[in-house]
Amino acid sequence: MRTEFFPPFDFSMVFVDPWGETFALNFQIVFMGFLVCLACGVIGNFVVARRLALVGDAISHSVLPGIAVAFLLSASVSVPAMFLGAALAGVLTTLLIEFIHRKSRVKPDAAIGIVFTTLFAAGVVIISQWVNKVHLDADCVLYGEIGLIPLHESIFVGGLSLGPRPLAVMGVVTVLDVVLVAVFYRQLLVTSFDPGLARSLGMPVNVVHYGLMVALAFTIVAAFEAVGVVLVIAMLIFP
C-alpha cells in the first residue's frame, strides 16, 4: 500500500476552518500582530535611518531587568508595575548609551553593546536568583506568546470592551506612534538624514532624538507580551 509522505493540501482546513467558531480569538491574535508590525514599522524606519537599529535591540533586552525589579518592588505581577518598570528600563538604556558615548571615547556601537549586555545579564541574574517563584517563563520573555493574548482580561471603557489588555495597550501605543510621526514628520526626517541642516534650521535635534527613543522604548514594551525581546528586533528592522 502506497503511503503519501505529504498529505494533500486542504484549502478549507487551512484558510476557512480557523475562522469558524474561534473567529473572535483568532482575529484578536492576528490583529495584535498587525498592530505590532505597524507600530514597530512606523518607528523603526527612523531608527534604521539613523543607523541606530541596535538601540532597539538594546532596549528590547533591557526591559528584562526592568520587569524583574518591578516585581521585586511591588511583590506582584500587576500590569502597571511591570509596564512602568520595563518602560523606565528602556528609557534608562537610551540615556546610558548616550552618556557613555559622550563622556568617553567609546563609539556608539560599542556603547550599545556595553549597556545592553550588562542590563540583560543583570535581568537574567535577578530572575534566576530572586524571581524564581513567580510564573515568569523564559521562553515567553524571549519570544513572547501571541497565542495567549485573547486569554488576558478585557478592558472596558464606558461599558464598551476594548479587547484584551495587551491588545488595547498596543492599540493605544500604535495610535500615538502614528500621530507622533504624522505631526513631527518633517523634524524626524531632517534630523535623521542631516542633523547639521536641522540645527541650522533651528530644529531641536536632541529633543527629537530623545523623543524618538522614548517612543521606541514604549513601543517595544507594549509589544513585549506578544513577540518578546527577540522577535521585536525583526519587527523594527524588516519593514
In a domain, 122, yes or no: yes
Task: Read off the C-alpha cell for 200.
Answer: 541650522
pLDDT of residue 69: 84
Angle formed by the axes of helices 79-103 and 108-130, to 10°?
140
Residue 22, domain member (yes or no): no
CB atoms within 10 A of CB 1: 2
Q: Calculate the alpha carbon distances from 123 to 89, 96, 230 in Å.
A: 11, 16, 15
Cβ atoms within 10 A of the Cβ of 195, count?
16
For residue 4, pLDDT beyond 60:
no
Q: What is the mean pLDDT of the chain?
A: 81
C-alpha to C-alpha distance for 186 and 175, rounded to whole angstroms: 19
For residue 117, the model assigns a pLDDT of 86
pLDDT of 78:
63
Q: Is residue 28 part of a domain?
A: no
Q: How many domains does the chain have?
A: 1
Residue found by looking up cell 534608562 in the block: 92
Percent of the chain clearing pLDDT 90 (strictly above): 16
Is 78 a member of any domain? Answer: yes
Residue 54 lies in a domain: yes
- Whether 188 and 212 have beta carbons less than 8 Å apart is answered as yes
| 226 φ, ψ (degrees, to nearest 5) | -85, -45
Instruction: List the grid coordinates of 206.
Output: 536632541
Instruction: At 14, list the grid cell.
Output: 487551512
pTM of the full structure:
0.79
3 state DSSP class of 163: strand
In this prediction, residue 6 carries a pLDDT of 63
* Pairwise CA distance, residues 139 & 155, whole Å: 26
Residue 226 corresponds to which cell in the numbers above?
506578544
How far the first Cα of the chain sits from its last, in Å, is 49
Structural domain boundaries enclosing 96: 34-237
- Residue 179 in domain: yes
Question: What is the CATH classification number for the domain harbouring 180?
Answer: 1.10.3470.10
Q: Does residue 21 fall inside a structural domain?
A: no
The answer to whether position 20 is within a domain reads no
Tell me the C-alpha to C-alpha distance, in Å, between residue 215 and each of 5, 71, 121.
49, 23, 24
